[in-house]
């Protein structure tokens, strides 16, 4: 039995299994999924919402997902739906079942993973604990620890543990889950997901269940899994069930609402709630959270409609040989990528930008000699005016390029320097003064960027952004070179004319 710790209950839990382990009708059940469904509908009560305080009745789409995710040979099951479709209740109920019943491999370990421990407690873990407390048959067979440092539920008869966790990479690597619940998988970093997966597989049977809505970008576990499925990857142990409105549908299309939200048909999501949200919510957020669609850039520096704005600037155009060209470079050797962005003036006066990216691997950092050679090739083809760069990581290569006759200009990424550069680029993009070819990698890095505000405006925060943003920084440096030099030319021409 567990040793009391912190503010653990001062009582003794019954060290004996419940009817689900002794009743003949249960003993005849060998299907893991059917046991889970029966257990949930027998012992779990919704913590809130429709049916609060009554036995949980799983919707047909929830049962279908459970049957697929808990089938023999399945390691990962992911359910992606808009908000309000019972993901937290389903995740919490599965965790309760796994704690008390799913012990074929001994000592069930059920972590519930969110961005932070506090967020895990407020979501699926909190729902699971509420379900346990509301059912005497469960509560008397466990100990619920609520200490700040060690919140968990312990079941003496099978030595099972249910506990909340953050997505911190190091902690996830030491897990040995029988069933893990990953909440808001659309916002979980790929690195965290990989750490969890690498820790699984130590048991004969170990399942990871992911639930959530689409994220704000594509740098997350859910999108990577979706992409693998779309590309035809061989994933025999993976199940994905995704509910989303059809691409291109009108935001007020009620038929699309019902396609995306199976809970409307199941009777525990009011359609009127979506109607209210439509009237007070930005369209991009409504599409993500109510229609289950992927819309990037909603919390980024370009605003909630950032992706639409950036995509609206797609206008393929070929650089002119020998024409004036400006370049910005942002170097990342080991962790960040490296970006070189070149810009030229089009005939209509707008700037056109192209981007080249280098991404380091775990074993190989970016080779700056490759970056130098790319700059040389640009210099051979076009009339390079100046190349703006941050001297960190590129000081010596820049000096070598200077010696070769290329006009390299230091642009340290200080608050004083970057605030006006980012502000000017923001106005240029929002005003339609720049175009690009529609490169997905370039777009992703521009849309990943999140603002860091200061008393003069804002810069772009690498630490807070949802992925690499080196292309956005390099674009800002290139555009800054254009604007600074054209202002000088205009001033010089004005003085000469006067």
Q: Specify whether the CB–CB gap between 173 and 199 falls below 8 A.
A: yes
The domains of the chain are located at: 19-243, 309-494
**Mean pLDDT for the stretch of residues 106-116:** 93
> pTM of the predicted model, to two decimals?
0.69
C-alpha angle with apex 249: 246 to 255, nearest 5 degrees?
Answer: 75
Looking at domain 309-494, its CATH architecture is 2-Layer Sandwich (3.30)
Residue 215: how many CB atoms within 10 A of its CB? 22
**Mean pLDDT for the stretch of residues 167-190:** 90
The rounded mean pLDDT for the chain is 89
Instruction: Using the Cα atoms of residue 159, residue 88, residue 79 and residue 288 in order, give the sign of their dihedral.
Output: negative
Residue with tokens 């380091």, as numbered in its chain: 360
Query: Which tokens sit at 139?
Result: 């509560």
Rounded-to-integer distance, Cα 396 and Cα 1, Å: 64
CA distances from 285 to 83, 216, 288, 306, 469 (A): 11, 9, 5, 12, 22
Residue 428 pLDDT exceeds 70: yes
Stated as kind and residue range, the H or E segment containing 388 is strand 383-389
Rounded-to-integer distance, Cα 358 and Cα 332, Å: 9
**Mean pLDDT for the stretch of residues 364-368:** 90
**Mean pLDDT for the stretch of residues 103-131:** 91
Rounded-to-integer distance, Cα 193 and Cα 260, Å: 25
The answer to whether the 19-243 and 309-494 domains have the same CATH topology is: no
For residue 277, list its beta bridge partners.
none
The superfamily (CATH) of domain 19-243 is: P-loop containing nucleotide triphosphate hydrolases (3.40.50.300)
Rounded-to-integer distance, Cα 222 and Cα 179, Å: 18
| In the chain, % of residues over pLDDT 90 | 70
């Amino acid at each position: 039995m567990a040793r009391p710790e912190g503010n653990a209950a001062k009582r003794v839990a019954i060290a004996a299994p419940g009817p689900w382990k002794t009743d003949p009708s249960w003993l005849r059940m060998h299907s893991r999924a059917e046991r889970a469904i029966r257990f949930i509908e027998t012992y779990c009560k919704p913590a809130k919402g429709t049916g609060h305080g009554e036995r949980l009745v799983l919707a047909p789409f929830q049962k279908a997902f459970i049957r697929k995710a808990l089938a023999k040979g399945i390691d990962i099951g992911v359910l992606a739906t808009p908000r309000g479709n019972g993901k937290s209740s389903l995740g919490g109920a599965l965790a309760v079942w796994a704690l008390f019943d799913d012990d074929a491999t001994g000592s069930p370990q059920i972590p519930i993973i969110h961005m932070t421990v506090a967020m895990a407690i407020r979501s699926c873990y909190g729902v699971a604990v509420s379900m346990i407390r509301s059912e005497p048959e469960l509560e008397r067979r466990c100990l619920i620890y609520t200490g700040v440092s060690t919140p968990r539920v312990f079941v003496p008869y099978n030595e099972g543990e249910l506990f909340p966790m953050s997505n911190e990479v190091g902690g996830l690597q030491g897990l040995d889950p029988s069933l893990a619940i990953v909440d808001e998988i659309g916002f979980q970093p790929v690195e965290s997901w990989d750490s969890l997966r690498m820790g699984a597989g130590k048991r004969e049977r170990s399942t990871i269940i992911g639930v959530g809505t689409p994220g704000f970008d594509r740098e997350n576990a859910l999108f990577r899994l979706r992409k693998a499925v779309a590309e035809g990857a061989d994933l025999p142990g993976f199940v994905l069930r995704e509910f989303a409105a059809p691409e291109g549908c009108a935001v007020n299309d009620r038929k699309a609402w019902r396609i995306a939200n199976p809970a409307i048909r199941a009777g525990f999501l009011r359609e009127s709630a979506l109607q209210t949200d439509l009237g007070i919510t930005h369209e991009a957020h409504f599409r993500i959270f109510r229609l289950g669609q992927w819309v990037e850039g909603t919390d980024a520096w370009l605003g909630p409609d950032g992706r639409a704005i950036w995509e609206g600037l797609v206008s393929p155009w070929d650089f002119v040989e020998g024409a004036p060209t400006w370049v910005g470079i942002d170097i990342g050797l080991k962790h960040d990528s490296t970006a070189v962005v070149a810009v030229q003036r089009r005939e209509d006066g707008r700037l056109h930008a192209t981007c080249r990216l280098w991404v380091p691997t775990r074993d190989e950092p970016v080779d700056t000699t490759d970056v130098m050679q790319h700059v040389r090739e640009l210099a051979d083809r076009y009339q390079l005016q100046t190349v703006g760069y941050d001297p960190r990581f590129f000081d010596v290569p820049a000096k070598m390029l200077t010696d070769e006759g290329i006009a390299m200009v230091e642009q340290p990424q200080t608050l004083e320097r970057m605030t006006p550069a980012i502000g000017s680029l923001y106005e240029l993009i929002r005003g339609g003064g720049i175009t690009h070819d529609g490169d997905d990698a370039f777009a992703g890095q521009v849309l990943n960027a999140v603002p860091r505000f200061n008393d003069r405006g804002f810069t772009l925060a690498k630490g807070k952004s949802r992925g690499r943003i080196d292309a956005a920084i390099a674009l800002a440096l290139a555009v800054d070179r254009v604007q600074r030099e054209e202002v000088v030319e205009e001033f010089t021409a004005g003085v000469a004319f006067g």
